[in-house]
């Protein structure tokens, strides 16, 4: 009889029905079933209000601990210090308060991947190893967790090297707003911080781009948002990452594009690039290249042999081995008449504010308004102004001039870099030097000097590699190797020590 009453009242599966049953039939033997169903409903709908009310109204429910954990999962997504502290403030009675305080403490801890004996672990910013090198591969910590690979196992660890989900996966991608794609056997799912599956199954999931995942399902591609809701239907043979609110797609061998707002451009191209921040993309048709806007308007017909992105505002056009420049404002910045050299880096041609022109091996500089600032046959090579100085080659030697072409540093170097942070690396027959904008030598060496990171220089010596700062002070000697990880330079010394420098 009690079971019948429970089923009749809650048959619609709605929140109000469970609440009514709990209030009016609290002595019914199915009370725990009602609690369980109500909590499952809040879990499905991610109802923070409902879960908080459950905790407040039903202090004797055996599901109360589970409800607290659910409230935490719903409320805390990114595991930032601010988010964790806000949760504690909002819910001071949280029974696992100490675990959150521990998370807040760990949140301030910066851990950097380091390698030792062909295994990877983590060190703090002083170089002290806090997680021993045990893994084949690791990711940076995101939302308090790192993805680690060990043998054929993939799992998440926190900053105390604990597998917090207590699960092993075939593959995984980082957490974002409390959800992460994981591969279980041959299928991909999105899971939450408790390890619960929060999406349908996919054959493939690619890394997040502008808060969307590109996924494959039943041999077709589509996009889902960070909450696993489909944004585009699964009908494309190929779908690119969302860039500047646009993504290219391929259908039956042809390319088109789709915007986040829902505009779909028909598949008519042989290829199309990602869209720039100014809303332009390069397309290919009949083996020629043109430019198109994200509203479908053609800016340049397909007539060019090559189009390259210099900056978001400037494009390099190549036709019959000649090049010129085009603006994202739909106007030509120069004629297409200059000698194109394909072996040159795109940075050779412009820095975004000045254009380099090349004719018969002679260089000139022109601004975006068409004014020639340095004409042809003035110098052998011309750099772009940096720290107020222009690197110039004259009579087979490098020197530096100011914007008015007055010599500042004599033409006496065999090689020279542009100035950065008011320093440049130059060489003569006697060796290498670091000089400032006055031409004064900060540091010199008979062997090569490199710049591994901003404000830091690596000098090769017979005694071992040395790391020098921009003031010429030696920071470390006897370097074995180094690597750059974001804003940190990881330095491995010959004696086995690890040093970390913030760049």
Q: Which CATH number covers residue 91? A: 1.25.40
On whether residue 84 sits in a domain, the answer given is yes
Percent over 70 (pLDDT), the chain? 100
On whether residue 22 sits in a domain, the answer given is yes
What is the residue range of 36's domain?
A: 2-107
Tokens standing for residue 112: 């950097």
| Banded model confidence at residue 292, pLDDT cuts 50, 70, 90 | very high
Under 8 Å CB-to-CB from 243, ≥6 apart: which residues? 209, 210, 274, 275
- Asked if pLDDT for residue 463 goes beyond 80, the answer is no
Across residues 95-123, what is the average pLDDT?
91
Q: How far apart are CA 295 and CA 258, in angstroms?
A: 10
Q: How far apart are CA 20 and CA 28, in angstroms?
A: 12
On whether residue 359 sits in a domain, the answer given is no
How long is the chain?
A: 503
pLDDT of residue 103: 84
Q: pLDDT by residue (tens digit) across 31-64?
A: 999 999 999 999 888 899 999 999 999 998 888 9
Percent over 90 (pLDDT), the chain? 75
On whether residue 273 sits in a domain, the answer given is no
Across residues 323-351, what is the average pLDDT?
97
- Asked if pLDDT for residue 462 goes beyond 80, the answer is no
This prediction's pTM: 0.83
pLDDT of residue 503: 82
On whether residue 21 sits in a domain, the answer given is yes
| Banded model confidence at residue 105, pLDDT cuts 50, 70, 90 | confident
- Asked if pLDDT for residue 464 goes beyond 80, the answer is no
On whether residue 14 sits in a domain, the answer given is yes
Q: How far is CA 311 from the centre of its chain?
A: 19
pLDDT of residue 102: 85
Contacts 24+ apart (CB under 8 A), 303-312: 307/282, 308/346, 309/273, 309/276, 309/282, 309/346, 310/346, 310/349, 310/350, 310/352, 311/350, 311/352, 312/276, 312/277, 312/278
Across residues 375-386, what is the average pLDDT?
97
Structural domain total, the chain: 1
Across residues 369-377, what is the average pLDDT?
97
| Banded model confidence at residue 171, pLDDT cuts 50, 70, 90 | very high
| Banded model confidence at residue 386, pLDDT cuts 50, 70, 90 | very high
For helices 2-9 and 15-24, angle between their N-to-C axes, nearest 10 degrees: 150
Q: How far apart are CA 350 and CA 383, in angstroms?
A: 10
| Banded model confidence at residue 159, pLDDT cuts 50, 70, 90 | very high
> Is the separation of the CB atoms in 393 and 404 below 8 Å?
no
**Euclidean distance between the first and final Cα of the chain, in Å?**
72
> Is the separation of the CB atoms in 39 and 66 below 8 Å?
yes
- Asked if pLDDT for residue 77 goes beyond 90, the answer is no
| Strand order across the 204-205 sheet | 204-205, 212-217, 220-225, 230-236
On whether residue 255 sits in a domain, the answer given is no
On whether residue 23 sits in a domain, the answer given is yes
């Amino acid at each position: 009889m009690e079971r019948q009453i429970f089923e009749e009242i809650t048959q619609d599966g709605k929140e109000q029905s469970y609440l009514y049953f709990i209030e009016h039939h609290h002595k019914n033997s199915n009370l725990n079933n009602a609690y369980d169903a109500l909590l499952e409903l809040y879990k499905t709908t991610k109802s923070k209000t409902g879960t908080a009310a459950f905790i407040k109204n039903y202090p004797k429910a055996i599901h109360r601990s589970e409800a607290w954990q659910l409230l935490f999962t719903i409320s805390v997504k990114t595991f930032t210090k601010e988010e964790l502290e806000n949760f504690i403030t909002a819910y001071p009675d949280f029974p696992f308060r100490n675990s959150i305080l521990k998370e807040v403490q760990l949140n301030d801890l910066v851990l950097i991947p380091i390698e030792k004996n062909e295994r990877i672990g983590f060190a703090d910013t002083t170089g002290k190893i806090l997680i021993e090198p045990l893994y084949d591969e690791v990711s940076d910590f995101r939302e308090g967790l790192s993805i680690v690979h060990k043998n054929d196992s993939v799992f998440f660890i926190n900053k105390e090297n604990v597998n917090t989900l207590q699960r092993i996966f075939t593959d995984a991608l980082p957490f974002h707003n409390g959800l992460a794609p994981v591969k279980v056997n041959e299928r991909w799912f999105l899971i939450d911080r408790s390890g619960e599956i929060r999406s349908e199954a996919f054959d493939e999931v690619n890394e997040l781009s502008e808060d969307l995942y590109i996924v494959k399902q039943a041999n077709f591609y589509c996009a889902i948002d960070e909450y696993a809701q489909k944004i585009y239907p699964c009908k494309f043979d190929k779908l690119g990452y969302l860039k500047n609110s646009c993504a290219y797609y391929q259908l039956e061998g042809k390319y088109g594009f789709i915007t986040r707002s829902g505009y779909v451009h028909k598949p008519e191209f042989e290829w199309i690039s990602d869209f720039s921040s100014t809303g332009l993309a390069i397309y290919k048709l009949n083996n020629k290249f043109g430019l198109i806007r994200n509203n479908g308007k053609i800016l340049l017909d397909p007539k060019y042999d090559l189009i390259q992105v210099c900056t978001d505002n400037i494009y390099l056009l190549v036709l019959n081995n000649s090049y010129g420049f085009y603006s994202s404002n739909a106007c030509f910045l120069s004629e297409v008449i200059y000698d194109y050299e394909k072996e040159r880096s795109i940075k050779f041609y412009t820095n975004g504010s000045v254009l380099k022109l090349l004719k018969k091996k002679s260089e000139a500089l022109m601004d975006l308004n068409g004014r020639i600032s340095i004409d042809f046959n003035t110098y052998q090579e011309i750099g772009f102004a940096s720290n107020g100085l222009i690197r110039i080659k004259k009579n087979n030697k490098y020197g530096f001039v100011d914007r008015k072409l007055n010599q500042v540093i004599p033409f006496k170097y065999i090689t020279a870099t542009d100035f950065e942070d008011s320093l440049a690396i130059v060489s003569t027959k006697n060796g290498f030097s670091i000089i400032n904008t006055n031409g004064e030598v900060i540091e010199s060496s008979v062997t090569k000097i490199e710049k591994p990171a901003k404000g830091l220089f690596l000098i090769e010596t017979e005694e071992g590699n040395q790391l020098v700062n921009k003031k010429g002070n030696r920071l470390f000697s006897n370097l074995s190797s180094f690597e750059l990880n974001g804003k940190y330079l990881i330095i491995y010394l010959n004696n086995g020590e690890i040093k970390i420098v913030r760049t």
